[in-house]
């Protein structure tokens, strides 16, 4: 499969994650979790900048009103606009005080599926943040909660547990926001990297970033490997479609604190284009609106 891969901005992210396209700004946002910063790259101009947040942001969504919804450490969830302060919707979650959120995704109704990292004493969880601001715990016993995506008909949700090297598929109840009938969809081979962030393209193909695998792997809707795109860095962390025609893939990487082992461009944001592969717009969250 032909492709073009290009580094866009290198902030040497320790853990670059969570890329998200903002169609109103024609810009990509992403986070460096432990360094407590968000970044913006404007596609039309190539201008990019960093924002100091002050606490780790494990994932974020774009709200219907144009603000961002940040998912942070301790179960905290806050509204934010570039250059502004944090306006907390959820101060903390008592069961998540020793950990943080990791990867989030908006569903068809504007609710947010949001996973948490494990602690030394217990495994992680997957929650649903409902539109009125309440929290519902959906899954427990998660090794490392990671990338999610919907099938094109929105009847099923893909969910990555990195520690188990597995992307699961769940039946998705659009009305209630519940998950059912869990089954493994992709089990990553040993030695090929760990499944991390992911997205689904317009044809229903799943694209999974591989931490320590130096690649992005595409799968057909039936789970057959479609493509394996190599990267010049070790830790490929997440991917999203963007651009006015959603024909560009934006890929975050990690390891900027150890470029000597993870690659000279470790921690950079990349743009990947594959002829014939396009995505769709992400849903916007409507929490508290």
Concatenate the DSSP letters of all residues of 103-171 into one string: EEEE-TTS-EEEEE---SSS-EEEEEE-TTS-EEEEEEEESSEEEEEE-TTSSEEEEEEGGGTEEEEEE
Q: How many CB atoms lie within 10 A of CB 151?
A: 15
Region of 219 please: left (phi>0), alpha (psi -120 to 50) or beta.
Answer: beta
- Residue 96 CB-density burial (10 A; 0-12 exposed, 13-18 middle, 19+ buried): buried
- The pLDDT of residue 257 is 98
Q: What angle do CA 100, 270, 113 make, to 5 degrees?
A: 30
Q: Tokens for 144? A: 């490392």
> Given this model, what pLDDT does residue 288 score?
84
State the average pLDDT over residues 198-224.
98
Residue 32's pLDDT is what? 98
Per-residue confidence band for 3, with pLDDT thresholds at 50, 70 and 90: very high
The answer to whether the beta carbons of residues 183 and 196 sit under 8 Å apart is no
pLDDT of 241-279, one tens digit each? 999 999 999 999 999 999 999 999 999 999 999 999 999
Distance between CA atoms of residues 265 and 9, nearest Å:
9
Mean pLDDT of 115-124: 94
pLDDT for the residue numbered 202 = 98
- Please, are residues 11 and 41 in contact by the beta-carbon 8 Å criterion? no
How crowded is residue 91: how many other Cβ atoms within 10 Å of its Cβ?
10
| Backbone region of residue 190 per phi and psi (left: phi > 0; alpha: psi in -120 to 50; beta: other values) | beta
* Angle ∠(9,86,119) on CA atoms, nearest 5: 80
Q: Which helix (H) or strand (E) holds 259?
A: helix 259-262
pLDDT in tens, 83-101: 899 999 999 999 999 999 9
Residue 1 has a pLDDT of: 82
User: According to the model, what pLDDT value does residue 181 have?
Assistant: 97
d(CA 219, CA 200): 9
Mean pLDDT of 131-160: 96
Element (DSSP H or E) covering residue 260: helix 259-262
Catalytic residue set: 196
Q: What is the mean pLDDT of the chain?
A: 97
Strand partners, 217: 208, 228
Structure tokens given for 229: 């795109």
Residue 132: pLDDT above 80?
Answer: yes
As a whole number, mean pLDDT of residues 39-54 equals 98
Q: Is the dihedral of CA 258, 261, 263, 264 positive or negative?
A: positive
Identify the pLDDT of residue 289: 72
Return the higher-pLDDT residue of 1 and 47.
47
């Amino acid at each position: 499969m032909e492709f073009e891969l290009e580094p866009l901005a290198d902030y040497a992210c320790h853990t670059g994650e969570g890329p998200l396209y903002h169609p109103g700004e024609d810009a990509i946002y992403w986070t460096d979790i432990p360094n407590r910063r968000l970044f913006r790259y404007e596609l039309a101009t190539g201008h990019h900048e960093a924002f100091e947040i002050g606490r780790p942001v494990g994932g974020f969504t774009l709200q219907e009103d144009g603000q961002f919804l940040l998912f942070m450490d301790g179960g905290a969830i806050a509204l934010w606009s570039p250059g502004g302060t944090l306006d907390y919707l959820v101060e903390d979650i008592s069961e998540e005080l020793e950990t943080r959120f990791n990867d989030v995704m908006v569903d068809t109704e504007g609710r947010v599926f949001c996973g948490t990292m494990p602690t030394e004493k217990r495994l992680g969880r997957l929650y649903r943040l409902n539109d009125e601001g309440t929290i519902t715990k959906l899954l427990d016993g998660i090794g490392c909660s990671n990338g999610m995506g919907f099938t094109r008909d929105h009847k099923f949700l893909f969910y990555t547990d990195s520690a188990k090297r597995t992307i699961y598929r769940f039946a998705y109840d659009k009305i209630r926001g519940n998950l059912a009938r869990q089954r493994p969809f992709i089990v990553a081979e040993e030695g090929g990297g760990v499944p991390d962030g992911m997205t689904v393209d317009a044809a229903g193909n799943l694209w999974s970033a591989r931490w320590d695998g130096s690649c992005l792997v595409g799968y057909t809707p039936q789970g057959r490997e479609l493509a394996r795109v190599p990267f010049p860095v070790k830790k490929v962390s997440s991917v999203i479609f963007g651009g006015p025609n959603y024909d560009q893939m934006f890929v975050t990487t990690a390891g900027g604190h150890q470029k000597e082992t993870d690659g000279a461009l470790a921690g950079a944001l990349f743009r990947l284009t594959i002829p014939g592969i396009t995505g769709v717009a992400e849903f916007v969250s409507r929490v508290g609106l």
